[in-house]
Amino acid sequence: MIIFIVLFAFIPFIRSQLTTQELEEENAQGTPRSTFPTLLYSNHSVLSVLIDKNEIANRTYVEEQSELQRTILSKYNKRVRPVLNISESLDVAVHVYIMHVSVNQLEQTITLNGHIYMTWKDEYAVWEPSEHNGVRITMVKQWEIWTPELRITNSVSGVGQFFEISKRSHVIIHSNGKAWSRIEIYPTFSIKIGCKFDYSAYPYDTQMCALGIYTTNRMSEVQLSVYYNMQPTVLLGWGNQSTKKHISDWIIDSVTMNVSYFNGGRYKSEKPVDAEELDVSWETE
């Protein structure tokens, strides 16, 4: 190792003073000028290989990630669902984190702020980790790959509102080899929804307000599910959450999440199974 370092330092000096022909002549005569030129000359080709391998092994994290992302995105079409079999529906698991709640009794509205966690399989954003220095995780911008298009059914801004759920998040890609990758995304949201309050039991009234989320894709293309059947997470600050359920004059009693199905102008609790029904049905959460 010590010899390698010394030789590496001396290569520019020797090559600038002696030509290859001069070194060959001195070696043939058996009278080299010093021990170092002989070592350098005899190991020159081996040393060159070692330098090339070091350049690969010492590639920075940023360089490795940049090359990997170029490999993934060079042939990626973000407008196409990431499934090899287009007749298969893509399952998107969803979990909601509620970070802030604001109640307006006069308007009968609730404003919710937080994050929506979504995860699904992508069969196009794939790579073999062994071909990229063992890198298994990378991160790209949301608009660079396919992501489900979500809408709010009961937003006060209308069902077509586009900016209530952030479009400028980052996507985490976990490689599972060349077959598929696991996608994770945490876009923020700020949603104002209309409610119907009943004050007949005031001051002991209990109100219920629903937030409906749906994807613009039909169920034959994309199906939403509750992530591991987990109910929404309410995080209204740091520390003991049990002491932070008070919102103005209200106390958050519970938050639940379920899936319903919209078909033929009606919401249903039974999941469609027929292919024709799936093609004209949407899921809401």
Mean pLDDT over 180-199 rounds to 92
Mean per-residue pLDDT of the chain:
76
Structure tokens at 154: 């009961």
The Cα–Cα gap between 18 and 24 comes to 10
What is the DSSP track for the chain? -HHHHHHHHHHHHHHHH--HHHHHHHHHHT--S-HHHHHHHHTHHHHHHHHHHHHHHT--HHHHHHHHHHHHHTT--TTS-S-SSTTSPEEEEEEEEEEEEEEETTTTEEEEEEEEEEEEEESSS---GGGTTT--EEEEEGGGS----EEETTBTT-TT--SSB-S--EEEEEE-SSS-EEEEE--EEEEEEE-----TTTTS--------EEESS-TTTEEEEEGGGPPPEE--SSS-GGG--EETTEE--------EEEETTEEESSPP-SHHHHTTEEEE-
Q: Which domains does the chain have, with CATH numbers?
A: 2-58 (no CATH), 80-284 (2.70.170.10)
pLDDT at 266: 60
Answer whether residue 33 shows pLDDT above 50: no
Q: What is this structure's pTM? A: 0.71
Instruction: Kindly indicate the confidence band of residue 171, based on its pLDDT and cuts at 50, 70 and 90.
Output: very high
pLDDT of residue 12: 36
What pLDDT score was predicted for residue 61? 78
Nearest to 285 by CA among 223, 234, 224, 236: 224
Averaged pLDDT, 153-178 = 86
Overall average pLDDT of the 47-53 stretch: 41
Lowest mean pLDDT among 33-42, 49-58, 117-126: 33-42
User: Residue 70 pLDDT > 60, yes or no?
Assistant: yes
